[in-house]
């Protein structure tokens, strides 16, 4: 854990925040020792603080690792911004699928594939949709030459697509279908990150005795973290907020505190 020094605690903290390029809201600050003036120049000691990024900040860094290999051009960045705006508009538009309802599973799957194909074209990142069946889960792979656009920074665009797909299929299908939208191997990498995130968060909660509020994520990702931490009787989890911004809270189990 990095330690920073200064003539005062505030000065040491400022140095640490500058070195980490973070704000006070993004870190946890522990005072190791206050400054001592000493006597006649002897025994003087600088203030010392340790500064560590919060779990949320570490999460953001971990998620960035997933997309660091995807090269996004300036043009794609502009399109990505437009993509988020377009998807937000679609998410608030409840009229689109009204003509389709109570469809059998295969019909609903076909309509969703066409829906995702059309959206990818609107986002200027045309994709071919491949379906993978994994037990009760339907995985729609979007094969495109512009992965960066359909994934977006920290996976925001992909998660928006995920939300739209789930809402669409719930509206048109007679049965409840669980779907996942994937681009490249993003979801596979993300799964590994969620595993590390769950373990790291549990340790943080045990160390501090305080709850940790994770970033908003799709329901199936929240379930993955919940399932991982359900094996730890010192930890309990629950979700808060509204879709698509619903997030997971990880906190100490009451019987242990």
CATH number at residue 171: 3.30.300.20
**Burial of 118 (C-beta count, 10 Å sphere; 0-12/13-18/19+):** exposed
Q: Are residues 99 and 162 in the same domain?
A: yes
SS3 70: coil
Domain edge (last residue) among 184, 219, 248? 184
Is 149 part of a structural domain of the chain? yes
Tell me phi and psi for residue 232, to 5 degrees: -100, 110
For residue 11, being part of any structural domain is answered with yes
pLDDT at 142: 96
Residues 143 and 214 in one domain: no
Across 95-218, the runs of DSSP E, i.e. the strands, are: 128-134, 137-143, 178-183, 212-213
Q: Which domain holds residue 131?
A: 62-184
Contact 247, 214 (CB under 8 A): yes
Let me know if residue 189 belongs to a domain: no
Q: Does residue 23 lie in a domain region? A: yes
Q: Per the domain annotation, does 191 fall within a domain?
A: no
Q: How many domains, the chain? A: 3
Helices 156-172 and 105-122 meet at what angle, rounded to 10? 140
- pTM of the predicted protein model: 0.61
**pLDDT per position in the chain (257 positions), as tens?**
567 888 888 888 888 887 767 777 667 777 888 877 765 555 678 888 887 766 555 545 544 444 444 444 454 555 556 666 666 676 666 555 556 788 999 999 999 999 999 999 988 899 999 999 988 889 999 999 989 889 887 788 888 899 889 889 998 999 999 999 999 989 888 888 888 889 888 988 888 888 888 888 888 889 889 999 998 999 999 998 887 778 899 999 876 54
Q: In the prediction, which pLDDT does 141 show?
A: 96
pLDDT value of position 115:
93
Q: Tell me how far apart the terminal alpha carbons of the chain are, to the nearest angstrom.
A: 26
Do 99 and 132 fall within a single domain?
yes
State whether 213 and 149 are in the same domain. Answer: no
* Torsion angle of the four alpha carbons 112, 117, 123, 125, in this order, in degrees rounded to the nearest 10: 140
In a domain, 91, yes or no: yes
Q: What are phi and psi of 209, to 5 degrees?
A: 70, 15
Same domain, 69 and 174: yes
pLDDT of residue 130: 96
Look at residues 108, 128, 132, 107 and name the one whose alpha carbon lies nearest to residue 118: 128
Picking from 184, 208, 229, the residue at the C-terminal end of a domain is: 184
Does any domain span residue 190?
A: no
In a shared domain, residues 86 and 118: yes
The answer as to whether 208 is a domain residue is: yes
With beta carbons less than 8 A apart as the criterion, state whether 161 and 87 touch.
yes
pLDDT of the residue at 37: 72
pLDDT at 193: 85
Helix (H) or strand (E) holding 53: strand 47-53
Task: Count other Cβ atoms within 10 Å, centred on residue 58.
Answer: 17
What's the pLDDT score for residue 63?
46
Angle at 112 between CA 191 and CA 114, to 5 degrees: 115
Domain end position, chosen among 161, 184, 207: 184
């Amino acid at each position: 854990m990095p330690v920073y020094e200064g003539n005062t605690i505030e000065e040491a903290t400022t140095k640490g925040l500058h070195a980490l390029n973070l704000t006070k809201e993004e870190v946890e600050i522990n005072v190791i020792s206050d400054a001592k003036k000493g006597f006649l120049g002897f025994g003087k000691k600088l203030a010392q603080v340790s500064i560590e990024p919060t779990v949320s900040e570490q999460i953001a860094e971990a998620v960035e690792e997933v997309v660091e290999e995807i090269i996004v051009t300036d043009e794609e960045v502009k399109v990505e911004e437009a993509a988020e705006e377009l998807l937000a508009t679609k998410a608030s538009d409840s009229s689109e699928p009204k003509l389709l309802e109570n469809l059998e599973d295969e019909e609903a799957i076909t309509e969703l594939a066409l829906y995702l194909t059309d959206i990818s074209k609107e986002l200027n990142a045309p994709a071919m949709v491949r379906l993978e069946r994994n037990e009760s889960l339907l995985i729609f792979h979007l094969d495109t030459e512009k992965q960066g656009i359909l994934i977006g920074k920290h996976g925001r665009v992909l998660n928006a697509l995920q939300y739209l797909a789930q809402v669409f299929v719930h509206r048109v299908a007679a049965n409840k279908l669980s779907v996942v939208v994937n681009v490249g191997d993003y979801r596979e990498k993300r799964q590994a990150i969620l595993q590390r995130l769950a373990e790291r968060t549990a340790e943080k909660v045990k160390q501090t005795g305080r709850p940790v509020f994770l970033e908003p994520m799709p329901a199936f990702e929240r379930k993955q973290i919940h399932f991982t931490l359900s094996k730890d009787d010192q930890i309990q989890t629950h979700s808060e907020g509204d879709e698509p911004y619903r997030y997971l809270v990880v906190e100490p189990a009451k019987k242990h505190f």
